[in-house]
Structure 1
Amino acid sequence: MENKETVIEVSHATVRFNLASEKIDNLKEYAIKLVKRQLMFQEFLALKDVSFQVKKGEAWGIVGLNGSGKSTLLKVICGILKPYKGEVVVKGTIAPLIELGAGFDGDLTAKENIFLNGAVLGYSKEFMRAHFNEIVEFAELKDFLDMPIKNYSSGMAARLGFSIATMVKPDIMIVDEVLSVGDYAFQQKCMERMAKMLEGGTTLLFVSHSIENVKELCDHAIWLNKGEVVKCGDVTEICNAYMQQF
């Protein structure tokens, strides 16, 4: 049996946010209370002692109700957030699709944003020129290249972001519900591309409220509830257990 390399290891990760416990109406009042050390905060744990391992080439679905910590977990793995306690180790390049419009400038055209987003991902201008037509063709936005991104619908922005992020095969692909804003035909197109990337050895972390999509694409799953792991393991077992609560 092949012993696959661990590419994501989350060990006892806890993420803490401080929520203001009182209403402050203006900056002056905030500054005064800050100087006097009178600001009151309530501790909120978005993740609580989360641990799991992902092997190279595996596809993990992350399921749970809104507010369960799914997006927070992905942001910790991407390095956007640092855990208050615990450790996260990631090996390989990551292509994150976590928030719509991340890396885009709303005042620039789609054409300009393709090169801007490519630069953010570490690609050269020459590389982006060579793959420009491929990106546009997949996103199906040829007639809207000179339109500012701020005039794009959320679905159009998701198309462009997905097309750029999947232009080359990353070691790890992270997708957080961004495909839900697209039409059904484009969702299927994205699912097919992700399936091909998995066949090529890419590791996937996939957040979706569509349990059918999770089962179709993933072989493992983790179920979060209020920041804690309920169960993790085989995707069918976890998804069936998750659905039984409704």
Structure 2
Amino acid sequence: MTASVISVVDLGVRFRRNRRGRRNFKDLFAGKNRRSRPGEFWALRNVSFTVERGEAIGVVGRNGQGKSTLLKLVAGVLLPDEGSVTVSDGVAPLIEITGGFVNDLTVRDNVYLTAGLHGMSRREIEARFDEIIDFAEIQDFVDTPYKHLSSGMKVRVAFAVIAQLDEPIMLVDEVLAVGDKAFREKCYRRIDEMLAGGRTLFFVSHNERDLRRFCTRGLYLDRGSLVLDSSIDDVLDRYNAEYNS
């Protein structure tokens, strides 16, 4: 029997319109009232689903419908206001992947720092360092301060580091849309290899071609609600019919 690696039950999360970010700690721990206060809105509510080990799930919906918020909840970056998110395996978060890199450090130091923060030991990083640099195609910039790299080079370094993680679940949020065509294809081949190795994929994207390439199942979010959980073809067909109507 296949085991669930992600379980989402009656999930709800809310934000404030009138200021940036989540509620403060006082808000989080004071009271049990779940009604929205003035200026608040529910980004997600009453969302439930499970993901089995080895599945490739595509999350579909227009901008502002809760897709990236859902991904961050699964990654543990955000905490829910209602319901629960249970993740039984480790995650490799390909979301906002250049975040956490330090501009004044060299590429070499950033690789060690970022890989270490994601749980790789120094010995593991040393063993994979050349592979990371080769994948990113920045052999001539290893000792260059990170801030001097182009935006495309920064994305290549970040993906190359995260792609070395052995975590069973991949969380991907449009990050590959930034690189050039040749590097995107290189990343896609790497994701194909990971899927062939039994990894689980949770993929947020507006790119229909990518969704059909990688995913077999889809989740369609609209106004913070899960309106369809079906095959990726069914989900995309409904999304296209409603979006273009």
Of 10, 13, 22, the residue aligned with 2:11 is 13
Instruction: Please tell me the residue identity of whatever aligns with 1:243.
Output: N
Which range moves more in the overlay, 77-86 or 228-237? 228-237
Q: 1:45 & 1:148 partners in 2: Cα distance?
A: 41
What's the CA shift for 1:66? Answer: 1.2
Instruction: Please tell me the residue identity of whatever aligns with 2:46.
Output: D
Matched with 1:104 is: 101
Matched with 1:37 is: none
TM-score by length of 2: 0.88
Which range moves more in the overlay, 94-103 or 58-67? 94-103
Q: 1:174 and 2:171 equivalent?
A: yes
Q: 1:131 & 1:230 partners in 2: Cα distance?
A: 42
Q: 2:38 & 2:149 partners in 1: Cα distance?
A: 38
Matched with 1:25 is: none
Alignment CA distance shift 1:185-1:15 (3 Å): same
CA contact (8 A) 1:100 1:157 kept: no
TM-score by length of 1: 0.88
Q: Which runs of 5+ in 1 are unaligned?
A: 22-39
What's the CA shift for 1:150? Answer: 2.2
Q: 1:231 & 1:173 partners in 2: Cα distance?
A: 22
Alignment CA distance shift 1:143-1:41 (3 Å): farther
Q: 1:153 & 1:207 partners in 2: Cα distance?
A: 25
Matched with 1:26 is: none
Q: Following superposition, which runs of at least 4 residues in structure 1 exceed 3 angstroms of deviation?
A: none
What's the CA shift for 1:41? Answer: 4.8
Matched with 2:69 is: 72
Instruction: Please tell me the residue identity of whatever aligns with 1:10.
Output: V
Q: 1:96 & 1:168 partners in 2: Cα distance?
A: 9
Q: Which runs of 5+ in 2 are unaligned?
A: 20-36
Residue by residue over 1:9-41, the C-alpha shift from the partner in whole angstroms, topping out at 9 and shown as x without a partner, is 1111100112328xxxxxxxxxxxxxxxxxx95
SS at match of 2:104: coil
SS at match of 1:67: coil
Q: 2:42 & 2:104 partners in 1: Cα distance?
A: 36
Residue by residue over 1:192-239, the C-alpha shift from the partner in whole angstroms, topping out at 9 and shown as x without a partner, is 111111111100111111111000001111111221112111011111
What's the CA shift for 1:122? Answer: 1.1
Q: 1:60 and 2:57 equivalent?
A: yes
Identity of aligned pairs, percent? Answer: 43
CA contact (8 A) 1:169 1:202 kept: no
SS at match of 1:20: coil
Matched with 1:234 is: 231
Q: 1:227 & 1:156 partners in 2: Cα distance?
A: 34
Of 160, 164, 182, the residue aligned with 2:157 is 160
Alignment: residue pair count: 226
Q: 1:119 and 2:116 equivalent?
A: yes
CA contact (8 A) 2:97 2:159 kept: no
Which range moves more in the overlay, 83-92 or 232-241? 232-241
CA contact (8 A) 2:106 2:144 kept: yes
Q: 1:69 & 1:45 partners in 2: Cα distance?
A: 9
Matched with 2:29 is: none
